[in-house]
Amino acid sequence: MSKRALISVWDKTGIVRFSKSLIDRGYEILSTGGTKKLLENNNINVTSVSDLTGFGTMMDGRVKTLHPKVFGGILADRKKESHLNDLAAIDSQVIDLVVVNLYPFASEAVDKKLPIEIAIEFIDIGGPSMLRASAKNHKSVIPICDPQDYDNFISELDKSDGEIPIKTRRKYAVKVLNTTSNYDCVISSYLSNFEDDDVLSSNININVIKNNELRYGENPHQKAAFYISHDQKNSWEQLQGKKLSYNNYTDIESAISIVKDFDDISCSIIKHANPCGFAIGNNNVDAFERAVSSDPVSYFGGIVGFNHKVGAELAKKLVKPFLECIVATDFDSESLEIFKSKKNLRLIKIKDSFRLSKTMIKNALGGYLLQDRDQLDFNINRCDLVTQRKPNKEEIQGLKLGWNLVKYVKSNAIVFSNQYQLLSVGAGQMSRVDSVKNAIRKISETGLSLTGAIMASDAFFPFPDCVEIAAKAGIKSMIQPGGSIKDSEVINIANELDLSMLFTKARHFYH
């Protein structure tokens, strides 16, 4: 008794050769629309699905295969006589192979940014339904959703003398269910873009594919990989160097995110998740050298970011120290030649399409924490001046720079800066006053001056001691969220010391 294959594909790669192979092995073929026409044009005998169902295509192609004669043929359990009797009662027969690939919603609707009224026409209904039905009944029906599986199927068919083993059938079923699940996630994500609802929906689906195997995780004994959504393409490109490790990914994001917060030519240096150097300059070289001066020891082995194209003059300086990675919006051809002398140095080019995800997620206590990204729209003119003294023009620029940087520093976070650069950082301490003391200690080691500099704090000062210690070191202006029960004491000390202080009314904890 011959077997039946239902074939309906959008991507017609290899389908003619595959169909001929099935005919040669005794299969009858059912098909629809463009697939049927292509097969007939290549002299392949095809039965139309509409001949089976007695109904033609309806509603501009929205309804073609949704019929009991089709789904009965796919879902009938061959071991149940009642199923076979039901099938006979509607004058239908079993279907043994379902070959379907889906309307390309991602490439046609998402990538082309189609309006929703047009995009919905690329939502496949019959295809996923037939695939899921055949996956459910995989003991009797084999589903194939990928043209790359055609040759393997024919080989397996011949090797098993037409009786594919259950283990192989289950493999096809799992692939199909992954495909339909991913397909629905892409559509759901796209349609969600048209909603104004809070990002923290009651249910979330995380369906991603492995994009890159990493060298290792946070430590060499930990395995790690980088995953992206099915509807997403890399917005960056590695031009040279060793494979990236887990820590590289997070530090690269920090390095490029910081410089992209500034319109001026900027350079950031990241070490162990914290900025150890940052500066703006007249050119890339100026910005880099000034950023290095923030911490000429810690930048060794760091990740350096630029918001302007890297040229030959800068490249000659960047190949001298040991650096893990250079990330920039672009590199010119001369710089790439120079970097070849450091074959392990990673070069990452950020594309124009680079966008940070709107949400952040991590696991904790056996579940997942999700939050929207800390992308507060900051305008220093909306801050509250809480002291008698006003910051001067240079200090205002320093306050803006410091507040932009402090959100990238691990809490408790203190940043000392002027209008041009990061001067020192106090990061990750259990008490805020220790962060202030550490930042001052670093200044004594670098030789930079805090005279006239500013201090930014990611959260309020719980006591006036931070203000007193910083003022003694030379700080003249401060920016902090405010909100402590001792705000009045902090403000009074600032006034006594002739300091200016701004309250942002928003904090930047980073754990």
The pLDDT value recorded for residue 391 is: 95
* Separation of alpha carbons 494 and 468, rounded Å: 8
Give the contacts of 205 (CB within 8 A, at least 6 positions apart).
185, 188
Domains in the chain (CATH in brackets) are 3-192 (3.40.50.1380), 245-350 (3.40.140.20), 380-503 (3.40.140.20)
Q: Is residue 1 predicted with pLDDT exceeding 60?
A: no
Among the residue ranges 42-46, 65-69, 92-96, the one predicted with the least confidence is 65-69
Mean pLDDT of the chain: 86
Options 83, 136, 175, 230, the catalytic residue = 136
pLDDT at 268: 96
Per the residue annotation, which of 37, 159, 272, 390 is the catalytic one? Answer: 272
Q: Which residues pair with 47 in a beta bridge?
A: 30
Q: pLDDT by residue (tens digit) across 225-257?
A: 988 876 567 788 999 999 898 999 999 999 999
Catalytic annotation present for 340 = no
Whether residue 318 has pLDDT greater than 90: yes
Least confidently predicted of 224-238, 325-339, 341-355: 224-238
pTM of the model: 0.72
pLDDT recorded at residue 231: 58
Q: Quick one: pLDDT at residue 112?
A: 67
Helix (H) or strand (E) holding 208: strand 208-213
Contacts of 163 (CB under 8 A, 6+ apart): none
Q: What is the pLDDT of residue 62?
A: 60
Mean pLDDT of 191-206: 62
| Strand 477-480 with 454-457, pairing | parallel
Residues 210, 216, 222, CA angle at the centre, nearest 5°?
A: 100
What radius of gyration do the chain's Cα atoms show? 31
| pLDDT for residue 94 is more than 90 | no
- Give the pLDDT score at 25: 86
Could you confirm whether 272 is annotated as catalytic?
yes
Nearest to 427 by CA among 287, 270, 305, 288: 270
Q: Check whether 174 has a pLDDT greater than 80.
A: yes
Exposed (0-12), middle (13-18) or buried (19+): which is 131, by Cβ within 10 Å?
buried
Question: What is the arithmetic mean of pLDDT over 160-173?
Answer: 87
Question: What does the pLDDT read at residue 273?
Answer: 87
pLDDT for res 117:
75
State the average pLDDT over residues 52-58: 62
CA distance 24 to 395: 82
Strand pairing of 359-364 and 27-31? unpaired
Q: What is the pLDDT of residue 96?
A: 87
Give the pLDDT of residue 11. Answer: 86
DSSP alpha helix (H) spans, 330-453: 333-339, 393-406, 432-446
> Taking 80 as the threshold, does the pLDDT of residue 309 lie above it?
yes
More confident residue, 355 or 177: 177
Asked if pLDDT for residue 156 goes beyond 60, the answer is: yes
Position 124 confidence tier, pLDDT thresholds 50, 70, 90:
confident
Percent of the chain with pLDDT strictly greater than 90: 43
374-422 pLDDT per residue, tens: 887 888 989 999 999 999 999 999 999 999 999 999 888 999 999 999 9
